[in-house]
Structure 1
Amino acid sequence: MTEYSDLQDRLKTRLADLLERAEVIEDDLRHPLDADSSEQAVDLADDEALEGVDDVLRAEIVQIRYALQRIENGTYGTCAKCGKDIARARLEARPIATRCIDCAD
């Protein structure tokens, strides 16, 4: 067990949730449009919103996978910019953080 095993568990749980939600969205997006043209307009608007949500989910999935990789290779908790330790409180608040609070944009 690493010193970040609790955060690793949280990240894995969040990843599983996001993957499940993304799959539901993708299933919704695969459905054919309704034959009624007025319904098609609504469906297209809904699909556009779903695509935006899916993009956000996918970006977070990438960040979580990157954080889990950093835990595995021992670089998690080290600022990618300055090399100093990232405060535990920051990691608990934002487990995907790659920079310390001083280097955060």
Structure 2
Amino acid sequence: MKSDETRRTEIEARKAHLLERIEEIDAELDSHVEQDWEDAASKQEDDEVLDELDMAARQELRMIEAALQRLDAGEYGFCVTCGERIDEARLDLLPATPFCRLHAPGAKKAAR
């Protein structure tokens, strides 16, 4: 089982990566200011993809911030719904998850 400090190091590394990614996406979006409306129209489609990537990165960043808060509170690795320990393999895959396998969003649908 990984220690909380090991988990914190992994989570903070992912946070740093996401912050760099968000900065790169923002810079790319800012560079797409076009004078020509035809160029602008073709860039709009690319910008929509970049916007989606940006939103996904920011959502993951929020999850990481919450995981770091749970680490600080000594609550990391426990399901916020049932309080049971989250399986180590699940934390390896999704280190910022606040849910055990049974209480993860969509788990009930998948079980049906």
Length-normalised TM-score, structure 1: 0.89
1:75 matched to which residue of 2?
A: 75
Deviation, structure 1 residue 41: 0.8
2:25 matched to which residue of 1?
A: 25
User: Unaligned regions of 5+ residues in structure 1, if any?
Assistant: none
Structure 1 residues 32 and 90, CA gap change in structure 2 (3 angstroms): closer
Deviation, structure 1 residue 32: 5.3
Asked if structure 1 preserves the Cα contact closer than 8 Å seen for 2:67 and 2:76, the reply is yes
Asked if structure 1 preserves the Cα contact closer than 8 Å seen for 2:79 and 2:86, the reply is yes
User: Unaligned regions of 5+ residues in structure 2, if any?
Assistant: 106-112
Length-normalised TM-score, structure 2: 0.84
Distance 1:91 1:77 in 2: 7
1:12 matched to which residue of 2?
A: 12
Shift >6 Å, 4+ stretches: none
Percent identity of paired positions between Structure 1 and Structure 2: 35
Q: How many residues align?
A: 104
Distance 2:19 2:65 in 1: 11
Asked if structure 1 preserves the Cα contact closer than 8 Å seen for 2:32 and 2:40, the reply is no
Asked if structure 1 preserves the Cα contact closer than 8 Å seen for 2:32 and 2:43, the reply is no
Distance 1:32 1:77 in 2: 42
1:28-81: per-residue Cα shift (whole Å, max 9, x none)? 222352222221111211111111110000000000111111111101011111
Distance 1:91 1:71 in 2: 13
